[in-house]
């Protein structure tokens, strides 16, 4: 009986250890507020997608998204309301993405979406749809109804590019172009 008890206890402890390791892995790669990929996982996944795109001669697009005037939301209503806005925005995006798209929070109110097997025009169409849906959505936060807008930059993997950073930089530049042109819109990197 003693040996059986030790074996069963060892199996239980091993299962608990594996479960704990999975929880730690999720905590290390997931944004705690929104539940989507954090910057680290997004970047690792992005580098993997670039390799896959190169291997299979595919296409890859990225959207850089920034919530317009988000600091004003936090300043006017507090960070708890700002957090609710971020979660609501994340939910809108998740409902409009494919299962294999990679959605991550890069920091603060800045997000990115990797779109495997997507060319410029289809990425722009998705970005415009997200921009429109976000602008029309009432976000309930405590006793307030808020509406937000987003500026989105689009870029695709160029033949000479070998890193996610270059692709993100071009999408980021396009996003700032959308902001300079009045916000609540999409700009495509040339």
**Top-confidence range, 7-11, 23-27, 50-54:** 50-54
C-alpha–C-alpha distance, residues 139 and 89, integer Å: 9
DSSP label of 37: B
| Residue 24 pLDDT exceeds 60 | no
Res. 21: pLDDT tops 70? no
**109 given a catalytic annotation:** yes
- Dihedral pair phi/psi, residue 26, rounded to 5°: -65, -45
Pairing of strands 60-67, 110-116: antiparallel
Residue 63 host element (H or E): strand 60-67
pLDDT of residue 22: 65
Mean pLDDT of 105-120: 97
Q: What is the percent of the chain where pLDDT is above 70?
A: 92
The CA-atom distances, in angstroms, between 188 and each of 52, 176, 183 are 23, 11, 14
Catalytic residue among 109, 128, 161, 177: 109
Q: Token match 């294999």: residue?
A: 100
Three-state SS for 97-116 is CCCCCEEEEEECCEEEEEEE
Rounded CA gap, 186 and 181, in Å?
Answer: 10
pTM score, whole prediction = 0.86
Structure confidence by residue, pLDDT tens digits, 92-111: 999 999 999 999 999 999 99
Query: Residues, the chain, total?
Result: 190
Q: What is the DSSP letter of 59?
A: -
Whole-number pLDDT of residue 12:
74
Helix (H, G, I), strand (E, B) or coil at 78: coil
């Amino acid at each position: 009986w003693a040996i059986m008890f030790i074996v069963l206890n060892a199996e239980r402890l091993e299962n608990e250890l594996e479960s704990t390791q999975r929880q730690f892995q999720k905590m290390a790669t997931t944004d705690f507020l929104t539940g989507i990929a954090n910057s680290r996982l997004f970047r690792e996944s992005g580098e993997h997608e670039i390799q896959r795109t190169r291997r299979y001669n595919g296409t890859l697009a990225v959207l850089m998204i920034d919530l317009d005037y988000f600091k004003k939301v936090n300043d006017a209503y507090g960070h708890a309301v700002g957090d609710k806005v971020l979660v609501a925005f994340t939910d809108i995006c998740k409902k409009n993405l494919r299962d294999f798209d990679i959605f991550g929070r890069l920091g603060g109110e800045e997000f990115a979406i990797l779109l495997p097997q997507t060319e410029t025009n289809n990425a722009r169409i998705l970005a415009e749809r997200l921009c429109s849906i976000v602008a029309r959505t009432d976000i309930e936060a405590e006793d307030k109804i808020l509406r937000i807008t987003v500026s989105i930059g689009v870029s695709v993997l160029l033949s000479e590019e070998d890193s996610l950073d270059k692709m993100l930089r071009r999408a980021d530049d396009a996003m700032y172009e959308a902001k300079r042109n009045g916000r609540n819109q999409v700009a495509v990197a040339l």
